[in-house]
Amino acid sequence: MSVINPQGLKARSYYNHIKIRPGTPVFPTGQVAWDEEGKVVGRGDMKKQVEQVYANIDRLLEGLGASRDQIVRTTTYVTDLSLVAEIHPVRQRFFAGLELPASTLLQISALAEPELMLEIDVVVMMPL
């Protein structure tokens, strides 16, 4: 596995520009702040929603038999850019001690339910 941050690209503490891990890419469904019964967790609370999303990603990884370090890319969709600062501390704890994946963040007008504030999509590299 290697990480590349090419000279001349803006450096950030919460992602790398390129994370290379050999294997087969897996493209799971994006995760939102639903509990196992499909109820929205943390209505109106971005921090609680981010925590639930990352907990769901952990469950997804467990089901794959994968680890957090096998995530090579994340795409985060938010409905309110003013709340993005609440995402980064949770993300940094989730990936603590690991090489961070590449990352994209987008603002969108809505998600599957009006109470959902974000969705995170991951790409996982499974060993050959």
pLDDT of residue 5: 86
| Domain range list for the chain | 2-126
- Residue whose token pair is 């850019």: 81
Taking the CA atoms of 72, 31, 59 and 14 in sequence, report the sign of the dihedral they define: positive
Give phi and psi for 14, each to the nearest 5. Answer: -115, 10
pLDDT at residue 98 tops 80: yes
Q: What is the pLDDT of residues 15-45, one digit of tens each?
A: 888 988 889 999 999 999 999 999 999 999 9
- Give the pairing type, strands 18-20 and 71-78: unpaired
When pLDDT is averaged across residues 38-62 and rounded to a whole number, the result is: 98
Q: What is the pLDDT of residues 100-125, one digit of tens each?
A: 999 999 999 999 999 999 999 999 99
pLDDT of residue 83: 96
CATH topology of domain 2-126: 60s Ribosomal Protein L30; Chain: A; (3.30.1330)
When pLDDT is averaged across residues 40-68 and rounded to a whole number, the result is: 98
Give phi and psi for 4, each to the nearest 5. Answer: -130, 130
Read off the pTM.
Answer: 0.92
The residue that leads in pLDDT, 64 or 1, is 64
